[in-house]
Amino acid sequence: MTELAEKAVQMPLDIKAILELLPHRYPFIMLDRVLDFERGKSITGLKNVSMNEPFFQGHFPNEPVMPGVLMLEGMAQTGGVLAYLSDDNIAGKLFYFAGLDGVRFRRMVRPGDQIIYKLEMLRQKGKLTKMAGKAYVDGTLAVEAELMAAFS
């Protein structure tokens, strides 16, 4: 297990540790904390949605709603942390969306909401990984999808 993976076992994983793993930076980091992690199996992450998010300026000025693609991005970043901490051979590599299946948006996400991302590893082989993800707000399903990513 890598040094970062050893640190990650101590939950919760804060933003500083997340930034050590992910290449994303403001304004595109969509994960604030990792609450739970099981190597090679699952991860639970948290995103606090604030009115200060830059996308709310245009989406939508009088009716702020978090863009669905950014909820998926947060899910992908959470899955990226799971993948990085589960496979020592991908440390330092970038990951890219390779596909999305079964995407369903179930609830709008607004400023003040807290998103809980729950992802389960379905398959990780070589440079490819596939996960099933769900995002909840106040215990209600907001979005679900199967995400595929490639590492390079």
Q: How confident is the model at residue 4 (pLDDT cuts 50, 70, 90)?
A: low
Peptide bond into 64 cis (omega under 30): no
Residue 152 falls within a domain, yes or no? no
Work out how many domains the chain is built from and give that number. 1
Residue 125 falls within a domain, yes or no? no
Residue 149 falls within a domain, yes or no? no
The answer to whether 59 is a known catalytic residue is: yes
For 125-152, write each residue's pLDDT tens digit.
888 999 999 999 999 999 999 999 999 9
Residue 9 falls within a domain, yes or no? yes
pTM over 0.85: yes
From 39, 59, 107, 130, active-site residue: 59
Classified as helix, coil or strand, 91 is coil
Residue 26 falls within a domain, yes or no? yes
Classified as helix, coil or strand, 83 is helix
Res 1: pLDDT? 42
For 59-118, write each residue's pLDDT tens digit.
999 999 999 999 999 999 999 999 999 998 888 899 999 999 999 999 999 999 999 999
Give the domain range for residue 18: 3-111
Residue 131 falls within a domain, yes or no? no
- Around Cβ 66, how many Cβ atoms within 10 Å? 24
What CATH number does residue 45 fall under? 3.10.129.10
Residue 37 falls within a domain, yes or no? yes
Residue 103 falls within a domain, yes or no? yes
What is the b/e burial string over 6-44, where b = at least 16 CB atoms within 10 angstroms of the residue's CB? eebeeeebeeebbeebbebeeeebbbbbbeebeeeebbb
Task: Let me know: does 42 contact 118? Beta carbons within 8 Å.
Answer: yes
- In angstroms, the first-to-last Cα distance of the chain is 20
